[in-house]
Amino acid sequence: MSVRLPDTIRDRLPYLLSRAYLRQLDLFARHTAAFGISGREYAVMLLLEAHEKLWQSQIAEALGLDRTTVTYLVDGLETHGWAARERDPNDRRAYVISLTAAGQQTLVDIGPAVQRAKAEMLAPLNDTEQEQLRALLVRLNAGTE
């Protein structure tokens, strides 16, 4: 017998946002399974695509992650050959991370799968509603980046 959540939980904004986030993670994982990449690794790769080289601390700050998590994410990206880590010539205590050519190609290759996941997630909404949702979420998150 399944338990139905009461409206006092089901209709609450935190619950709804959390469910949407979890659904998005699941869709991303299912559509990109062939690539063996996590959503966080993908986010790091997109960040590296936009910036030639970044310190691990900059990645952590930009994505709102702790440095230990970023270390593990970069380890995984290096294992796949998608990112390279090297000592910063200007600060030998720090590492700079860059996207490799293989990482750049992976972003191209994974693009259609990511778009399919997004399309499935947003399928219940028409184009106007999708843009409204995006705009509202941007406003809700303003000042958090």
pTM of this structure: 0.87
Distance CA 11, CA 80 (A): 41
List the alpha helices (DSSP H) in 32-126: 39-50, 56-63, 67-80, 101-122
The CATH number given to whatever domain includes residue 50 is 1.10.10.10
27 assigned to some structural domain: no
Could you report the per-residue pLDDT of 39-78, keeping only the tens digit for each? 999 999 999 999 999 999 999 999 999 999 999 999 999 9
Does a structural domain hold residue 106? yes
Number of domains in the chain: 1
The answer to whether residue 1 sits within a structural domain is no
Closest to 80 (Cα-Cα) out of 101, 103, 60: 103
The pLDDT score that the predictor gives to residue 145 is 60
pLDDT at 64: 92
For the purposes of burial, counting CB atoms within 10 Å of the CB of 59, is it exposed (0-12), middle (13-18) or buried (19 or more)?
A: buried
| 131 within a domain of the structure (yes/no) | yes
CA distance 44 to 30: 19
Domain span holding position 126 = 37-140
The answer to the question of residue 15 being in a domain is no
pLDDT at 98: 97
Instruction: Read off the pLDDT of residues 23-36 as tens digits, 9 standing for 90 and up.
Output: 999 999 999 999 99
Band of residue 92 on the pLDDT scale cut at 50, 70, 90: confident
For residue 67, tell me if it sits in a domain: yes
Q: Does any domain span residue 3?
A: no
